[in-house]
Structures are given as structure tokens and as C-alpha cells.
């Protein structure tokens, strides 16, 4: 005879409630996926909820109380009733009301069923309910309280969703900075194009103040202000992520500081603060740093410098803080002319010309072609160390140096004073990263075009006016249209979750990984129309990479914010080794670093070695960056800085001989990267042939270049009407003959065998006086005649 379950349940203080009879209200919905919450909160992305593993109960030493009170469970009958429970619409509705959407409901049920079926025993109350159901004395709906309890064990965020929402509520960023809100700040916006003197006027106020801070986007800019201030007898410290330089010999903090914007202090009071390049507040990766500085700097006067496109956003942001914005507009100090003709050939280069490319491969190709014409050129691109960039700029600016041509990426847009007469765009499309972290190939924006073009004819240089044009004729019309368009207004400011916010999340979700915590944070975050959450892909990449290493959360967070390029395997591997040794509490010494990087290093013999030296320089930067956050674990910063300066000199030697390195790389058959191509061997060039198209995962397109832009899901191109129409026409001019072949080889669109066959066929046609499409038609007609003869 079945024993009565009632007394036990009453003793346990629990009672199975028959949900089928309308008492669902006894289980209040702690979270609803359709709930607006307070202030219109959105439903979370539940695909980010990772279930916590819950192991079934094994052979217990204690007796099975439930079996003693009733009888052992018939697992086959239990399984049948569990499946009935799952299919009940009423149960699914209740699950939804308690935060279990279809995905979570299914995952929770699978776990619940596995737990019951694989456990040797379950809790007495659950055992009794299951026994009642199997005997027909209960209903499957009575399992819901136990199911919900299990669901909240494997998805702990269901129990604390309201708390998580409050932590990730980013709708009032001004309130994060009480020191700044405690004073009435004066906001002055210096608006104008490049070379208008806007930053100069802000810096003059900075120098005349009793105390001040300059916040810039680059180490080069911070270093420039640091030097100018001390040269003007205004003691100024330099603070970057990797370096601290004190103006006072006794290392006392000076009243003025020049820093990279991420390093500014929001707790220190100043008389004047200067925030440079404010339009970068919209940057998908770094915009949060400008937002933090603008809202949080505790200064009596905030001087903001940048494009007029940011005026409206800054004014709106300051309205939320109760502060007014005074706008001072500036005009360009020297004229800038867009020429009516393209360069078309490197034979038309003149002293003071700067060719702007948007890829390192184009830098290599163009610099080699320039020097093949007997012209010496300087080279500047983003991954070069700051010291090398300055030396190349000095070489180009020196009137007594024979180097009169500059080949550069858009890295010249900020931070370098250059005596450029004419800017020549080698291309007007550029790889970009959108707000979702996806790679796109896109026309340069009006803002980017003006920033780069504005470097020509700098005020105070030997050139009284600037000129801008393109390398290729059909790009010029589009460039003129881009430059004539108004700059798109800056619509929103970036935000980023802080270490404190993530720590509070981790308190509620102790079993979640850091990458998962960030994902859930962004999923639940609420921002108003003036803000957006910055892209966190780089952070998540590093979080996943070091997840298996035992670190406390704060240290893990710091490692994940390290400034490195995740496309550099050597640097990423080094960070992994740093983290692993750090977790073992073993200091990262100078000797260890030298062994890891194989220091000392020789000057590069080819491009591959030059790229590796740049990566080693980044590793030294990474060590220095970590040394200011974990001084005891990275103790040899001074020694590392010394060898980094020596490495800078070695890289400068390589860059000065870059043409020789390119030639050595191309002649190296072992590398397999390229093959020496005859200079008189032309290949058709389209507008797209010099770009590599890839999707946001970095996978190279295997389609022909002529259709790469038309493949759905690959690279989306936002363009002007003129650009769209011209993309359909093939430009058969053979610019950069060898370089195109080498790019096609690297991208896997040509094989060595195909290249040799093409060259052989072209040479045969050349000897017979036949070219291009006419040759193709002749071949087709001759083959038809041959076929007729055979018939």
C-alpha cells in the first residue's frame, strides 16, 4: 500500500500545488521576456546564458528517504511523465512568465530530466511527488516548482535579473562622475578643419593656466605637447599607457600633464583641460575614452578641439550635465586646392608629394616603384614605432635631405607635422570595422578625406598652399564628390563596461566566464539615444584566450584591456605566456623577456623579418604597459625601455632600406609569398584589383576579384552613385604591373604555374604582335577554322 505523502510535506514546510487548478499565481514571474521593466528594458539575448553544470547524485552513503517513505521509482514511468510535463502548454507558459523562453525552457528541461534519470536518489519531496504522479495520485504540473528550482540553479541569472539590469543600466553616465558634477565647468568648443589653429589656441590657454591636462588620441601628440610645454618653461609630465616621464627630477607630479586620453584622471582637479580630436567620441573601439574625459574631467575650463560635426552632440551631452557650450569657429589658415587632373604615373611625382595608401602591401609596392625611378622616399605606416615615424618625418621635412617623396598610410592624419605640398590618394577605398566588429571595404568618409587632405600646405611650412589629387583618373571625380559633401554629424558617444561593473556582475554570476559576463552585460545594457556601447570583440578575444589560466577577476580584466593587435600571433602568444607566468606568481624578468624575444636582434634582411621586429616592439610595449599595472610582477621596465630604443634604431635601418627588403622578399622562392615578375609583363587592373575583400571573420574571398563585391554576405560597400556605376567598368590600364601579380599570388587567386603560363602566353602574343581582347578573338576564330578543317 502506498504511504501517505502529506505528513512529510507538511513537516518539510512545502506543499505541492496543483497548478492545473488555477494557482499559477503562487509562482510570481521574477522576470518576463516580454516585460518592459522600468524604463522600457529590453529582453536579453538568452543565447548568451550558459548553463551551470549540475551533476546527478551518485550512490549516496545515506539511505534514500523518499524510497523509504514510498517505494523506489520506476524510471521508465518517470521518463514517460517527464515528457508529458515538457509538452504541456500551461507549463511552457509558466516558464515564459518566469524568464524561461523557448531556448532556456528546453535547456532547463533536458538538464532536469537528465538529473532525475541519472541520479541514484533525489530529494524526498521530489521523490514523493514523482511517485504520486506515477501512481495516478498526482499531476505532472506538480513538478513545476522543482523544475523551476532546477532551472534557477543552472541559470542563476534568472534569480537576479533585476539586479543585473540595474548594474548594466548605462542611461545616466554623467552621474558616474560626482567630482565633475560638484563644480560648474566652462565648456569651450574649438571647431575647425585640419590646419586651422584650433588646437593651438586651446594649448595657449593650457600653458597659461596654473594647472592643466592635455588629452590626445596618440602618444605622438601627447609627446609633442609635453615637449612644447617644457620648452616654454611650463613643467609638464608625460603619461601614456607605457610610459611616465616627470618634468621634476625628484619625480614630483608637475602641475601640467600631457597624456593619451585613456590615461586621464577624473579625480584630480585642474584649472584647464584640453580634449583633442573630440570627433573620435564616435569611434567604435575607443569612443568611450572621449566620453569619459568629456563628462568626467574635474576642470574649471574644458577646451574641446575637433570637427564642427561634433558640436551638436557635445552641446546635447553638456545639456544633461547643466553646462553650456561656447563655440569658437576657425577657418583653414592656408588654401587647399583639389586639382583637376590625376597623377596617373609615378613619373609625374614632384618634391613634397605624399602618396597615401590604405594597406601595407600598397605601401611596399608604391615605395619600390618610386625608388625604381631613382627617387628616394620616406615611409610611414601605423604599425611602425613612434620613434621610427618621427625619424621618417624628419627625413622628409629636412630641406637638405635628398628624400622628397613620402609614401604613407592615413597614419599621417594625426600626430605628425609634415611639410607636404600635394596629397595623392593611391586609392579611395579603405578596410573599416563597423559597430558590430565586422570588416567592410568602403569608400573613405568625408571626415577621413578632409583629415588626410588637410595635411598638405601646413601653416608655417615651406608650402604656402596645399594640393590634393588621386593616382587614378576615375578616382578623382569621386574624391571631389566626397570632399564636397558635408561631414556627417556625430550622433552618439561611446561607452564601455568598467571593471567595477563587471565585478558586480561576477558577484551574481560566479560561474560565468569573463567573456560571457561581458556578453550578458552588453545584452542587458540600456543606453539612451546619445550613447552606444563600444565594440568589445578584442576584449572578448583576449578573455577567451586566457580563460583557462587561473587569475582573479580584476587581473583578468586588466590583461583583457591590454592594447595589442590580435592579428599579430607573436604578440598574442606573448600575452598568453605573460598571463600564465603571472598566475604562477613568477615575476617576468628582463632575462626571461630577452630569451622569449631572442634579443639581441639583427637588422632585417626581408619584409618578413621587418614585420617580426615590429611585433617584438609591440611586445616590449605590452611589457611596459603591464609594468605600470603590476609593478612587482613586471619589475624591469627601465631595462626593457632601453632595449626598445635600440630596437627602434634597428627598425629604422630596415625602413630606410625597405626597397631592398621588398626585393629580397620577392626573390626568396622559399617564402612562397611572391615571385619576381617581369616588369614588361602587364596584367589588367580593375578598380578592385589592389584590395583584398574578406568577410568579418577574416576569410579571404575565393571568388574572382571582378565579382568580389557582389557576393552576398561578404563585404558590404556603401558608396556614391558614381562609385557604383564605375565599379561595373573595368579599367584596363596596367598600373603597378608586378605588384598586382604578387597580390593575386598572396591572395590565392593565382598559382605560380598559372602565372608562368600567363607570362609565356603574353610573350608569345607580344612576339606575334597581338594583344588583349583582339588576341582572344583571333584565337577563337582560328580555332573555329581549325575545327572546320578537321570536320
Round to whole Å and give the CA distance between 473 and 476.
6
Confidence at 60, pLDDT banded by 50, 70, 90: low
The pLDDT tens digits of the residues spanning 454-510 come to 999 988 888 889 999 999 999 999 999 999 999 999 999 999 998 999 999 999 999
Q: Please tell me the predicted confidence (pLDDT) of residue 780.
A: 44
Instruction: Say whether 772 sits in a helix, a strand or coil.
Output: helix
The single-letter DSSP state of residue 532 is: E
The single-letter DSSP state of residue 337 is: E
The pLDDT tens digits of the residues spanning 323-381 come to 999 999 999 999 999 999 999 999 999 999 999 999 888 999 999 999 999 999 999 99
Confirm if 466 and 336 have CB atoms less than 8 A apart: yes
Q: Please tell me the predicted confidence (pLDDT) of residue 711.
A: 30
Q: Please tell me the predicted confidence (pLDDT) of residue 520.
A: 92
* Residue from 571, 569, 701 nearest 623 by CA: 571
Beta strands in 359-487 (DSSP E): 377-380, 405-408, 422-425, 429-433, 439-443, 466-470
- Residue 353 sits at φ, ψ, to 5 deg, of -80, 145
Q: Please tell me the predicted confidence (pLDDT) of residue 734.
A: 36
pLDDT above 80: residue 45: no
H or E stretch covering 681: none
The pLDDT tens digits of the residues spanning 153-170 come to 989 888 888 899 999 999
How far apart, in Å, are the Cα atoms of 27 and each of 20, 100, 132, 197, 760? 13, 13, 21, 66, 80
Q: Please tell me the predicted confidence (pLDDT) of residue 597.
A: 96
Q: Please tell me the predicted confidence (pLDDT) of residue 269.
A: 96
HSE value, Cβ hemisphere, 13 Å, CA-based, for 271:
12
> Torsion-angle region of residue 254: left (phi > 0), alpha (psi -120 to 50) or beta?
beta
Q: Which three cell numbers stand for residue 329?
A: 569657429
pLDDT above 70: residue 13: no
Q: What percent of the chain has pLDDT over 90?
A: 61
Round to whole Å and give the CA distance between 266 and 262.
11
Q: Please tell me the predicted confidence (pLDDT) of residue 660.
A: 83
103 versus 237: the higher-pLDDT residue is 237
Bridge partners for 216 per DSSP: 260
751 versus 225: the higher-pLDDT residue is 225
H or E stretch covering 783: helix 772-790
- What is the value of pTM for the model shown? 0.76
pLDDT above 80: residue 399: yes
Q: Please tell me the predicted confidence (pLDDT) of residue 340.
A: 95
Distance of CA 69 to the CA centre of its chain: 61
Q: Which three cell numbers stand for residue 166?
A: 540595474
- Residue 480 sits at φ, ψ, to 5 deg, of -60, -40
- Residue 33 sits at φ, ψ, to 5 deg, of -70, -15
Confirm if 7 and 14 have CB atoms less than 8 A apart: no
Q: Please tell me the predicted confidence (pLDDT) of residue 198.
A: 95
Q: Please tell me the predicted confidence (pLDDT) of residue 79.
A: 93
Confirm if 684 and 734 have CB atoms less than 8 A apart: yes
pLDDT above 80: residue 421: yes
The pLDDT tens digits of the residues spanning 422-466 come to 999 999 998 776 656 567 788 999 999 999 999 999 888 888 899
Q: Please tell me the predicted confidence (pLDDT) of residue 413.
A: 87
HSE value, Cβ hemisphere, 13 Å, CA-based, for 293:
31
Round to whole Å and give the CA distance between 655 and 598.
21
Confirm if 103 and 47 have CB atoms less than 8 A apart: yes
Q: Look-up: residue for cell 639583427?
A: 602
Distance of CA 411 to the CA centre of its chain: 17
Round to whole Å and give the CA distance between 4 and 588.
67
How big is the chain, counted in residues?
791
Instruction: Say whether 157 sits in a helix, a strand or coil.
Output: helix
3-state helix, strand, coil in the chain (%, to 5): 50, 10, 40
Amino acid at each position: 500500500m502506498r504511504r501517505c505523502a502529506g505528513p512529510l510535506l507538511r513537516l518539510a514546510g512545502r506543499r505541492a500545488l496543483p497548478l492545473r487548478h488555477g494557482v499559477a499565481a503562487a509562482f510570481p514571474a521574477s522576470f518576463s521576456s516580454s516585460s518592459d521593466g522600468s524604463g522600457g528594458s529590453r529582453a536579453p539575448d538568452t543565447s548568451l546564458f550558459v548553463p551551470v553544470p549540475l551533476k546527478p547524485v551518485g550512490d549516496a552513503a545515506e539511505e534514500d528517504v523518499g524510497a523509504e517513505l514510498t517505494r523506489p521509482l520506476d524510471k521508465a514511468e518517470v521518463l514517460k511523465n517527464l515528457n508529458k510535463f515538457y509538452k504541456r502548454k500551461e507549463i511552457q507558459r509558466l516558464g515564459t512568465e518566469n524568464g524561461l523562453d523557448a531556448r532556456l525552457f528546453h535547456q532547463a528541461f533536458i538538464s532536469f530530466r537528465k538529473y532525475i534519470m541519472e541520479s541514484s536518489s533525489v530529494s524526498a519531496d521530489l521523490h514523493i511527488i514523482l511517485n504520486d504522479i506515477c501512481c495516478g495520485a498526482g499531476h505532472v504540473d506538480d513538478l513545476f516548482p522543482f523544475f523551476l528550482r532546477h532551472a534557477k540553479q543552472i541559470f542563476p541569472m534568472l534569480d537576479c535579473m533585476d539586479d543585473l539590469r540595474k548594474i548594466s543600466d548605462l542611461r545616466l553616465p554623467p552621474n558616474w562622475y560626482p567630482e565633475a558634477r560638484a563644480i560648474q565647468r566652462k565648456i569651450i568648443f574649438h571647431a575647425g578643419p585640419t590646419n586651422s589653429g584650433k588646437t593651438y589656441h586651446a594649448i595657449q590657454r593650457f600653458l597659461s593656466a596654473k594647472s592643466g591636462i592635455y588629452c590626445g588620441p596618440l602618444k605622438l601628440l601627447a609627446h609633442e605637447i609635453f615637449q612644447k610645454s617644457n620648452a616654454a618653461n611650463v613643467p609638464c609630465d608625460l603619461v601614456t599607457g607605457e610610459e611616465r616621464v616627470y618634468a621634476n627630477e625628484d619625480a614630483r607630479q608637475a602641475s601640467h600633464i600631457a597624456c593619451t586620453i585613456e590615461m586621464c584622471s577624473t579625480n584630480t582637479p585642474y584649472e584647464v583641460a584640453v580634449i583633442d580630436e573630440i570627433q573620435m567620441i564616435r569611434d567604435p573601439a575607443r569612443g568611450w575614452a572621449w566620453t569619459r574625459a568629456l563628462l568626467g574631467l574635474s576642470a574649471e575650463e574644458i577646451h574641446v578641439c575637433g570637427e564642427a560635426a561634433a558640436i551638436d552632440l557635445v552641446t546635447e551631452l553638456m545639456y544633461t550635465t547643466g553646462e553650456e557650450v561656447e563655440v569658437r569657429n576657425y577657418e583653414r589658415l592656408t588654401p587647399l586646392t583639389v586639382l583637376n587632373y590625376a597623377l596617373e604615373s609615378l613619373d609625374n611625382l614632384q618634391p613634397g608629394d605624399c602618396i597615401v595608401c590604405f594597406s601595407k602591401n600598397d605601401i611596399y609596392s608604391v615605395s619600390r616603384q618610386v625608388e625604381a625611378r631613382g627617387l628616394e622616399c620616406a615611409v610611414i605606416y601605423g604599425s611602425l614605432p613612434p620613434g621610427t615615424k618621427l625619424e621618417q618625418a624628419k627625413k622628409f621635412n629636412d630641406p637638405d635631405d635628398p628624400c622628397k617623396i613620402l609614401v604613407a598610410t592615413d597614419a599621417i592624419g594625426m600626430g605628425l607635422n609634415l611639410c607636404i605640398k600635394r596629397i595623392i590618394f593611391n586609392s579611395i577605398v579603405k578596410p573599416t570595422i563597423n559597430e558590430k566588429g565586422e570588416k567592410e571595404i568602403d569608400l573613405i568618409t568625408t571626415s577621413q578625406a578632409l583629415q588626410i587632405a588637410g595635411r598638405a600646405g601646413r601653416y608655417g611650412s615651406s608650402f604656402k598652399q596645399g594640393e590634393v589629387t588621386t593616382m587614378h583618373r576615375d578616382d578623382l571625380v569621386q574624391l571631389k564628390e566626397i570632399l564636397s559633401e558635408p561631414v556627417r554629424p556625430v550622433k552618439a558617444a561611446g561607452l564601455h563596461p568598467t571593471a567595477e561593473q563587471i565585478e558586480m556582475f561576477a558577484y551574481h554570476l560566479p560561474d560565468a566566464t569573463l567573456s560571457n559576463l561581458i556578453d550578458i552585460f552588453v545584452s542587458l545594457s540600456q543606453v539612451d539615444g546619445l550613447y552606444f556601447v563600444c565594440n568589445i570583440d578584442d576584449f572578448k578575444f583576449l578573455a577567451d584566450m586566457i580563460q583557462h589560466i587561473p587569475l582573479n577577476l580584476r587581473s583578468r580584466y586588466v590583461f583583457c584591456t591590454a592594447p595589442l593587435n590580435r592579428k599579430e600571433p607573436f604578440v598574442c602568444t606573448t600575452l598568453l605566456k605573460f598571463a600564465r607566468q603571472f598566475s604562477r606568481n613568477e615575476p617576468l624578468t628582463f632575462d626571461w623577456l630577452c630569451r622569449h624575444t631572442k634579443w639581441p636582434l639583427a637588422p632585417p634582411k626581408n619584409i618578413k623579418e621587418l614585420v617580426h621586429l615590429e611585433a617584438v616592439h609591440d611586445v616590449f610595449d605590452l611589457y611596459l604597459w603591464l609594468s605600470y599595472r603590476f609593478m612587482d610582477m613586471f619589475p624591469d621596465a627601465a631595462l626593457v625601455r632601453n632595449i626598445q630604443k635600440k630596437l627602434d634604431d634597428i627598425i629604422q635601418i630596415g625602413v630606410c632600406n625597405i626597397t631592398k627588403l621588398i626585393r629580397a622578399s620577392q626573390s626568396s622562392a622559399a617564402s612562397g609569398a611572391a615571385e619576381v615578375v617581369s616588369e614588361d609583363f602587364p596584367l589588367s587592373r580593375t578598380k578592385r584589383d589592389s584590395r583584398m575583400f574578406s568577410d568579418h571573420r577574416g576569410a579571404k574571398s575565393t571568388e574572382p576579384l571582378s565579382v568580389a563585391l557582389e557576393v552576398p554576405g561578404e563585404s558590404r560597400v556603401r558608396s556614391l552613385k558614381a562609385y557604383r556605376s564605375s565599379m561595373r567598368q573595368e579599367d584596363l590600364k596596367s598600373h603597378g604591373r608586378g605588384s598586382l601579380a604578387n597580390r593575386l599570388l598572396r591572395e590565392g587567386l593565382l598559382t605560380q604555374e598559372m602565372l608562368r603560363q600567363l607570362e609565356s602566353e603574353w610573350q608569345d602574343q607580344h612576339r606575334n604582335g597581338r594583344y588583349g581582347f583582339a588576341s582572344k578573338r583571333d584565337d577563337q576564330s582560328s580555332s573555329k577554322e581549325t575545327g572546320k578543317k578537321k570536320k
